[in-house]
Amino acid sequence: MQQWVIDRGVLAQARWCASPNCNARPQSVTVDTLVVHGITLPPGHFGGGHVDALFCNRLQADAHPWFAQVAALRVSAHVLIARTGALTQYVNFDERAWHAGRSCLDGRDAVNDFAVGVELEGTDDCPYAPAQYRQLARLAVALMRYYPALTRERIVGHSDIAPGRKTDPGPAFDWHWFDRALSAASRQ
């Protein structure tokens, strides 16, 4: 299986859908963290393009009763991995995506400054798909090559950097399965 390559912040294997919800990282910051998130729009529903719409500020508040709560948010992630394993990149990895919100890791606030955010289409209580673990592992390996300071130990859940505020990717995310997938992807 061919290794993935990130070229100037872009992963060729991903569909590109540019989000305006990003900005420059601080100049002195080294990217050394990968944050795993979970998202569905509306909650518990998969597909439909609503995540694209949210991350690109096009979500119609009246399209679903729940959308009124989130349509005005200005958020993004670097990549979304759909249930099928399809990847969509919204923000160049070298830029700061707005995915973590108020957050702290190892005493460092503003995790968006030094992290890549990857959303998995899923919920805290619904098992993630095998294709998502494989794709996340392949992406993590590519990111660790692109950002040498990013190591396996620096792959965390949103709940790890915003405890009490966020729960994703939740108990349905099998960290052991992901670790096995990451080991396999590292050998390719």
Q: Is the CATH number of domain 6-187 3.40.80.10?
A: yes
CB 5, CB 141: distance < 8 Å: no
pLDDT score recorded for residue 2: 79
Which tens digit of pLDDT belongs to each residue from 152-186?
A: 999 999 999 999 999 999 999 999 999 999 999 99
User: b or e along 13-45 (b: 16 or more beta carbons within 10 Å of the residue's beta carbon)?
Assistant: bbeebebebbeebeeeeebbbbbbbbbbbeeee
Domain spans in the chain, listed from the N-terminal domain onward: 6-187
Radius of gyration of the chain (CA): 15
Clarify whether 119 is annotated catalytic. Answer: yes
Rounded Cα distance, 136 and 130, in Å: 10
The pLDDT assigned to 1 comes to 64
pLDDT of residue 25: 98
Among residues 95, 119, 121, 153, the one annotated as catalytic is 119
How far is the C-alpha of 118 from the C-alpha of 146, rounded, in Å? 15
Sign of the Cα torsion 140, 145, 149, 152 reads positive
CA 38/CA 94 separation, integer angstroms = 22
Cα separation, 167 vs 3, in Å, equals: 32
Residues of the chain with pLDDT under 70: 1
- Cα dihedral sign, 98-103-106-109: positive
* pLDDT of res. 3: 85
Instruction: Please check whether residue 35 is in contact with residue 157, taking contact to mean a CB–CB distance below 8 angstroms.
Output: yes
